[in-house]
Structure 1
């Protein structure tokens, strides 16, 4: 049994089967239709011929029947022609007149028969079909029988059918194929609302829970399903909204305790312990800030008229990250374009993305190395480090929230690169990763530059 996952393919397949069956059955149906039409015409012709013979039938003064057929009519019923025959039979079954050489009746006489009876019989190998018509004169009844040898009629019918298929039948296949092509177009148009809805559904993700499937022009058979999906999306959006609000509220609430904790740590007499605790508090504060960034990005959108200078942003990030790099025995460098590189975007968000890349590079670079920020005129920002690089199978994973290569490391929560990815998506930018030939990773953010 052939199985199709596509409704469209299933409909077309079943339609093709229907057309094939039609192509097979239609000639048979047409043949029997022609046979039926020929039988109907035959019966009508036999009835008219019998009535014509009866017209020339008369009753003499002595009570005897007479039949005076014109010569042309006699020729039609001539045994030499052999196609038509007639006979006149009285109510006793006696044959009064007959065109056959043996002067016999065509059909067995039945005094109880109706005014007109359509009969069939066999005479030797010949199949005879005809009619028996009652004629009554002055109370005397006779039956006029007219019959035709079906062999002659069937030849004519077969010739008509053959001629029909020769002249008309050849266009059957092209007509069916044209019908199939038209049906394909019709089915595609009928399924267009579903295809449009599926294309729209592809855009639904945790960041775009506001999208709903359109109800307009949707087939009523599918409408309940689409409405149920939209209701499920409403519930899903509400759940994500609660989650975002909780994340933002929790991050805000944690800021104050962290500030108080930082102040109290400063009062500890043991400077070593105070310094270690300060480092832990700064790590916690960084996670809180990243959670706030995530909550803000969920509802963030770019003003189409807003512009940002990548060169200026990278210079600010380099200045901001320099103390962190120097504290770990590393250097930071800015190179590339000296002129402004303008792109459409929010300067604050772009700064967060580049800062996360730079901080990530600093954290994974060994002491004595340099983290380099390169700004290209084409709108590309590269962050180069001399760390261990990124394995091929990890290049998709590192942008997932809370993913870390080594779970045993306590610093960081695996949120930085997911924030970078979200900001890049919001700005219609792409991010790629390559390993440098000399060692280390090359993170590239590509923006569409504007004039």
Structure 2
């Protein structure tokens, strides 16, 4: 089984912190215990050294009992051959002559006893060695008790400190990764409806600022390029309107013929496409001006503007409004007017003469344009680039461009375009708009 680090930065930092906490929780008490025991051993060895020195130079050379403060300690004096010359008490807990000894002082542990051996000069002449042993479990010997008590308390302190450190690290890491989640939300909100959106630099840690600056500068360049492209399209469309108008005037001066009618239809189609290109340029120019719009007044203005075109083409149009005034909706009035007129124009251009067009406003603020023509087919295989066509055509045409413009406008206004069939079997297109007030 192989261990793999998490892919997320939060997971990696948290895993590393947990490893550090575990290592410190194990290593620190062991190291501290070793240091304390070494310190205690040094303290006991120094004390036994003093007592051994005193015992060897007179205080232990008599038959007087040891002072009470010596506690449960054992003294013995040996000659060079290992013969016991003095021992107090007389009955020792173990054979002290078996202890290792040499030319230097030695401190060792023998069972539950701390033992110190050191060479001495005997009073009668010659060399020997003295032994001082202490029972470390005796109540009067408190050094080891202090060590054990300290270690038990230290274990609780270090556990609480490590858990607190882990909790603090979790909070800090959560806060830092939360900054990146906020940045991701800012970036995700950037799109055609919000080309001016940027990642908020004030909420990001200083380590991430180079990336944030670079991303925001890249978005600035993309927005500038997009605006320039929209301006170019609008300028080209405006430049083409004049020569197309001249062509239309010259065509009217020619005698009637099938060729003139064919050229006139092509010019009319070109004029229609140019108007749609101008509408596209208007989207880019007007989309930052979001406000609250009255949907009923907007739909009424669109119908009134399109009435001459509708009647001239042999169609009829009606406007229906709800009994109760709907709420105002988010949008740019000029763009929503373009959207509704585009839907009416599509219905006029792609339904037979005599068809009826109905524009209605609903109580929720949505607007609907429906007709009794052949209906609308939608190719939704790629939702990011949907293609629209009338039910009686085999290919997408200007209906697709017009409805794509409507979708772009609704994207800018925070709405959505819904398609379906009317009760008479024709096309039904609904502009679903957001009635949430702007803050």
Question: Smaller-chain TM-score range?
Answer: 0.7 to 0.9
RMSD (Å), alpha carbons: 4.4
1:59 CA displacement? 5.8
Question: Which residue among 233, 243, 261 is the counterpart of 1:257?
Answer: 243
Contact 1:98 1:104 in 2 (8 A): no
- The 1:369–1:204 alpha-carbon spacing in structure 2 relative to 1, beyond 3 Å, is same
Contact 1:382 1:442 in 2 (8 A): yes
- The 1:222–1:188 alpha-carbon spacing in structure 2 relative to 1, beyond 3 Å, is same
Matched, 1:334 2:319: yes
Spell out, residue by residue over 1:217-242, the C-alpha distance to the aligned partner (whole angstroms, 9 max, x if none): 63343233223323322332332233
Matched, 1:44 2:43: yes
1:176 CA displacement? 5.1
Structure 1 counterpart of 2:77: 88
Question: Which residue among 317, 325, 338 is the counterpart of 1:352?
Answer: 338
Contact 1:43 1:131 in 2 (8 A): no
Structure 2 counterpart of 1:97: 86
Contact 2:51 2:132 in 1 (8 A): no
- The 1:342–1:404 alpha-carbon spacing in structure 2 relative to 1, beyond 3 Å, is closer
Contact 2:287 2:332 in 1 (8 A): no
Structure 1 counterpart of 2:108: 120
CA distance in 2, matches of 1:303, 1:233: 20
**TM-score (norm. length: structure 2):** 0.77
Q: Which moved more, 1:274-283 or 1:428-437?
A: 428-437
Structure 2 counterpart of 1:70: 65
- The 1:243–1:413 alpha-carbon spacing in structure 2 relative to 1, beyond 3 Å, is farther
Spell out, residue by residue over 1:209-264, the C-alpha distance to the aligned partner (whole angstroms, 9 max, x if none): 43333444633432332233233223323322332232122112211221121122
CA distance in 1, matches of 2:421, 2:61: 120
Contact 2:56 2:130 in 1 (8 A): no
CA distance in 2, matches of 1:45, 1:307: 87
3-state SS, counterpart of residue 347 of structure 2: helix
1:287 CA displacement? 1.2
Contact 2:193 2:414 in 1 (8 A): no
Structure 2 counterpart of 1:11: 13
Question: Which residue among 259, 269, 285 is the counterpart of 2:271?
Answer: 285
Matched, 1:107 2:93: no
- After superposition, residues 345-424 of structure 1 pair within 5 angstroms as 346-390=332-376, 394=380, 397=383, 400=385, 403-405=387-389, 409=395, 411-412=397-398, 414-424=400-410
Structure 2 counterpart of 1:130: 115
Structure 2 counterpart of 1:80: none
CA distance in 2, matches of 1:323, 1:331: 10
CA distance in 2, matches of 1:157, 1:396: 81
Instruction: Structure 1: state its 5+ residue gaps.
Output: 78-83
1:284 CA displacement? 0.9
3-state SS, counterpart of residue 356 of structure 1: helix
Structure number with the bigger relative contact order (C-alpha 8 A, sep ≥ 6) is 2
CA distance in 2, matches of 1:184, 1:103: 59
Contact 2:33 2:151 in 1 (8 A): no
Structure 2 counterpart of 1:203: 189
- The 1:133–1:391 alpha-carbon spacing in structure 2 relative to 1, beyond 3 Å, is farther
1:298 CA displacement? 0.8
Instruction: Structure 2: state its 5+ residue gaps.
Output: none
1:441 CA displacement? 3.4
Question: Which residue among 309, 318, 332 is the counterpart of 2:303?
Answer: 318
3-state SS, counterpart of residue 205 of structure 1: coil
Structure 2 counterpart of 1:190: 176
3-state SS, counterpart of residue 415 of structure 1: helix
Contact 2:40 2:144 in 1 (8 A): no
- The 1:378–1:192 alpha-carbon spacing in structure 2 relative to 1, beyond 3 Å, is closer
CA distance in 2, matches of 1:190, 1:279: 63
Structure 2 counterpart of 1:300: 286
Q: Which moved more, 1:380-389 or 1:245-254?
A: 380-389
